Chain A
Amino acid sequence: MSLRLRLAAGLMLAVGLLLVAGESRPDPRAIMVGSKNFTEGVVLGELVRALASTETPAEHRQALGGTRLVFNALVSGEIDVYAEYTGTLTHEILAQQQPESREEIREILAESGLRMSESLGFRDNFALGMRKDLAERLGIRRVSDLRAHPDLVVRFGTEFMERGDGWPGLKRHYSLPQQDVLGVEHDLAYRGMAAGGVDLTDLYTTDAEITYYDLLTLEDDLDYFPSYEALLLYRAELAETQPAALQAMLRLEGQIDEAEMIAMNARVKLEGVQENVVAADFLRNELGVDVDARETLRSERFFRYTGQHLALVASSLSAAILVAVPLGIAAARRPRLAQVILGVVGVAQTIPALALLVFMIPLFGIGAGPAVVALFLYSLLPIVRNTHTGLTGIPLPLRESAEALGLSSRARLRLIEAPLAAPSILAGIKTAAVINVGAATLGALIGAGGYGQPILTGIRLDDMGLILEGAVPAALLAIGVQGLFEWAERAVVPAGIRPQARD
């Protein structure tokens, strides 16, 4: 690897790590609020953050992911508090322990250093729903009526598909015959219902869409679904380290009734008001707490997402260059090692980016860290392979001429082989960079931010403007990166081996 390339990669790595560091916990005393990736969770998260912030700095890592991910983040201390539901606790998170009572739940949670609040005042149960006109036509009112209609097109939220208290148990409990059952993003299922492609989906009973899309909630006539009381799960040590902030957060207990929750969900999802504003209005009207809230400006968001995205790409790509180029060189020098190296990085590449991100969570937690590691692994293959190909593709007479001159192995690499392989190596880095920019949008799924954040929020809120806010800059960035490397090609590739040298 040429000195210049190494310097450039090193510099990029330093800048990237600085940016990543800037994104992580700025204040060790800050309360870190988490939320699951659906609107109600985010609204509750905003309420908690706003209340906590009356006492101490507080941040909200929005829409981190599914139940398991967020709960594990709480256990590992990456977040301090999030809103959960009793049914989810008993039937999903603690399903193996099968707690019978609240007291038992508290005991089990205490073993992990966690506590739970009293109910926030409302239930958000699972239910099945279909369009009223369709239900009427088919004569369906109760879940058990579904047995007579095996051909329904069923689309459930991904989490509901897998959960112990979701579809598998429901299907057994009611002996349901439906075959065309697939998991989709929960919010997309609603749109499918409206468009007519989907007959049946799972609902949260506080979803604003139920009224909006004129849906019928099917009666759970065989009592399958447990009760899902909303409450807060938080780390036990808050009682000692942040008693005032905890006190403030727990003011939510018993304060939100079902109608109020549906109204808040509706304002976010149907009227497009930002969650922090909805939360602030509720706190002002119901609890008499004044918190500062305003809609973030598009430009503000743009700069924040751009900074996060660049940090993810710069740090993961530069680390990949620093590792992959030497790996490619080692592979080119030792054919037997090459099979191992190319095999291993090849396998890393075959793991879907999304799965790779999720694999990183147990090892590196949530946020930018695991995303950077996943993107790093994802960037290795194109660079290693192109470095290997570039070096082994150098004609034998040239390699032997360099040897016959009496140059040492290192000098041959620096003076002859690296410059001759430069076009191939650079092309590999370019490929890796473009893939990286695209894959980094998935980082938002595990709380790493970046352009994926507005895309995810946009999908959740059915807001095409928000989706474009992430998709357009991501595409432009990919094009920009491509251009940057084409420019770098001119600077790095020696004149004698550029195509126009043959005149």
Chain B
Amino acid sequence: MLELSHVTKRYAGVAALENCDLSVASGETTVLIGPSGCGKSTILRLMIGLQLPDAGNIRFAGQPLEPAKLPALRQRMGYVLQDGGLFPHLSARDNTTLMAEHLGWSSQRIASRIEDLAELTHFPFDGLDRFPLQLSGGQQQRVSLMRALMLDPEVLLLDEPLGALDPMIRFELQNDLREIFSRLRKTVVMVTHDLGEAAFFGDTIVLLRDGRIVQKGTLREMLRTPADEFVTRFIQAQRAPLEAMEQQP
């Protein structure tokens, strides 16, 4: 569905992504993980064309991402940011329906779609007419997800969608999200820095470091046959605090 080949991206001369090959399978959830600055968000931004690669090319559903085709191709992708990126001057409903209105959908079609989405994302109906600033962080992310899903895109790109939420809401939304992914059977690419979250969602986990893919596979594979020392250390670092506590009498 999405394919990066030999992609390099530099910011002010520093490589954020170095000669990267990555193929995202259709209908699967792929999670990009790694320490800060490893290039995981850059991959997502390249996929939706917010940034153009310095070298290499990116294909979406077989078509190369070209600037002229971007607006049309983006309508086939949904994009969710860490802090939602909701437009403060539009209500939750208008944020969600903005693109559909712009494309001239009938009001009937819009109404029925938003009803389905509110149900799917467990967003309360009476919140639809509130402005983003009047919603909690978790509700804002549900609106952001509704907006991304409005046009029923083939691909869903999520950049740390739960990163700014407190743990309880995060847990609740994690479950909701996984349920949504499995019901919709969409191609999902998600960025996170949390290994537990990666394992929870990911059919495939891609571990990055310094702009390169270190290992791609399931968490189990990474545990059994780590590609190098870094994989083991990365997994260990995230597991350590809980295990240390469990070992105490």
A-side residues, CB < 8 A to B, are: 397-398, 400-408, 411, 415-416, 419-420, 494-497, 501-503
When distances are taken between beta carbons in the complex, the residues of chain A under 8 Å from B73 are: 406
B87 touches A397 (CB 8 A): no
B133 touches A398 (CB 8 A): no
Distance in angstroms from A321 CB to nearest chain B CB is: 21
CA of A497 to CA of B131 in the docked complex: distance in angstroms? 9
When the two chains form the complex, which single residue of B50, B75, B98, B132 contacts A496, counting CB atoms closer than 8 Å?
Answer: B132
A496 touches B89 (CB 8 A): yes
In the complex, which residues 30-50 of chain B have their Cβ closer than 8 Å to any Cβ of chain A? 48, 50
- Binary contact readout B77-109 vs A (1 if CB under 8 angstroms, 0 otherwise): 101010101111111000000110010000000
CA of A95 to CA of B132 in the docked complex: distance in angstroms? 74
A501 touches B131 (CB 8 A): yes
Tally of contact residues, B, Cβ under 8 A: 27
Say yes or no for B217: interface residue by CB 8 A criterion: no
User: If the complex has contacts A408-B71, A415-B102, A501-B133, are A420 and B89 also in contact, measured as CB distance less than 8 A?
Assistant: yes
A-B contact pairs, 11 of them (CB 8 A): A398-B85, A401-B85, A404-B48, A404-B50, A406-B74, A406-B75, A408-B71, A411-B102, A415-B102, A420-B89, A495-B131
B90 touches A405 (CB 8 A): no
If A407-B98, A420-B88 are given as contacts, then 13 extra A-B residue pairs at C-beta distance below 8 Å, sorted by A number, are A397-B81, A400-B50, A401-B86, A405-B98, A406-B70, A406-B73, A408-B71, A415-B98, A420-B89, A494-B90, A495-B131, A497-B88, A497-B89
User: If the complex has contacts A400-B50, A501-B131, are A496 and B91 also in contact, measured as CB distance less than 8 A?
Assistant: yes
CA of A501 to CA of B79 in the docked complex: distance in angstroms? 26
A496 touches B88 (CB 8 A): yes
CA of A407 to CA of B98 in the docked complex: distance in angstroms? 9
Distance in angstroms from B126 CB to nearest chain A CB is: 15
Distance in angstroms from B150 CB to nearest chain A CB is: 9
Say yes or no for B14: interface residue by CB 8 A criterion: no
Distance in angstroms from B49 CB to nearest chain A CB is: 8
When distances are taken between beta carbons in the complex, the residues of chain B under 8 Å from A494 are: 89-90
Residue in B closest to A409 when the chains form the complex, CB atoms: B71
CA of A397 to CA of B163 in the docked complex: distance in angstroms? 15
CA of A432 to CA of B217 in the docked complex: distance in angstroms? 62
When distances are taken between beta carbons in the complex, the residues of chain B under 8 Å from A407 are: 71, 98-99, 102
Distance in angstroms from A386 CB to nearest chain B CB is: 17
A406 touches B98 (CB 8 A): no
B50 touches A419 (CB 8 A): no
Residue of B85, B98, B102 most packed against chain A (CB within 10 A): B85
Question: Which 7 residue pairs spanning A and B have beta carbons closest together?
Answer: A401-B85, A406-B74, A494-B89, A496-B131, A404-B79, A406-B75, A496-B89
User: If the complex has contacts A404-B48, A405-B99, A415-B98, are A502 and B79 also in contact, measured as CB distance less than 8 A?
Assistant: no
User: If the complex has contacts A411-B102, A496-B132, are A416 and B71 also in contact, measured as CB distance less than 8 A?
Assistant: no
When distances are taken between beta carbons in the complex, the residues of chain A under 8 Å from B90 are: 494, 496
Say yes or no for B72: interface residue by CB 8 A criterion: yes
B83 touches A397 (CB 8 A): yes
Distance in angstroms from B58 CB to nearest chain A CB is: 15
When distances are taken between beta carbons in the complex, the residues of chain B under 8 Å from A496 are: 87-91, 131-133
CA of A397 to CA of B79 in the docked complex: distance in angstroms? 11
Distance in angstroms from A152 CB to nearest chain B CB is: 67
When distances are taken between beta carbons in the complex, the residues of chain A under 8 Å from B70 are: 406
B81 touches A501 (CB 8 A): no
Distance in angstroms from A211 CB to nearest chain B CB is: 70
A420 touches B87 (CB 8 A): yes
CA of A497 to CA of B87 in the docked complex: distance in angstroms? 9
CA of A14 to CA of B91 in the docked complex: distance in angstroms? 36
CA of A502 to CA of B102 in the docked complex: distance in angstroms? 27
Distance in angstroms from A411 CB to nearest chain B CB is: 6
When distances are taken between beta carbons in the complex, the residues of chain B under 8 Å from A502 are: 133-134
Residue of A397, A404, A411, A503 most packed against chain B (CB within 10 A): A404
When distances are taken between beta carbons in the complex, the residues of chain B under 8 Å from A495 are: 89, 131
A406 touches B99 (CB 8 A): yes
When distances are taken between beta carbons in the complex, the residues of chain A under 8 Å from B99 are: 405-407
A400 touches B85 (CB 8 A): yes
CA of A397 to CA of B85 in the docked complex: distance in angstroms? 5
When distances are taken between beta carbons in the complex, the residues of chain B under 8 Å from A501 are: 88, 131, 133-134
CA of A400 to CA of B99 in the docked complex: distance in angstroms? 14
In the complex, which residues 7-65 of chain B have their Cβ closer than 8 Å to any Cβ of chain A? 48, 50
When distances are taken between beta carbons in the complex, the residues of chain A under 8 Å from B86 are: 401
B131 touches A405 (CB 8 A): no
Residue in B closest to A496 when the chains form the complex, CB atoms: B131
Distance in angstroms from A422 CB to nearest chain B CB is: 8
CA of A72 to CA of B113 in the docked complex: distance in angstroms? 72
When distances are taken between beta carbons in the complex, the residues of chain B under 8 Å from A400 are: 50, 81, 85
Residue in A closest to B157 when the chains form the complex, CB atoms: A404
Residue in B closest to A399 when the chains form the complex, CB atoms: B85
CA of A494 to CA of B83 in the docked complex: distance in angstroms? 21
When distances are taken between beta carbons in the complex, the residues of chain A under 8 Å from B81 are: 397, 400-401
When distances are taken between beta carbons in the complex, the residues of chain A under 8 Å from B133 are: 496, 501-502
CA of A383 to CA of B81 in the docked complex: distance in angstroms? 33
When the two chains form the complex, which single residue of B74, B87, B102, B131 contacts A404, counting CB atoms closer than 8 Å?
Answer: B74
CA of A415 to CA of B87 in the docked complex: distance in angstroms? 10
CA of A400 to CA of B50 in the docked complex: distance in angstroms? 7
Residue of A398, A402, A420, A503 most packed against chain B (CB within 10 A): A398
Distance in angstroms from B125 CB to nearest chain A CB is: 19
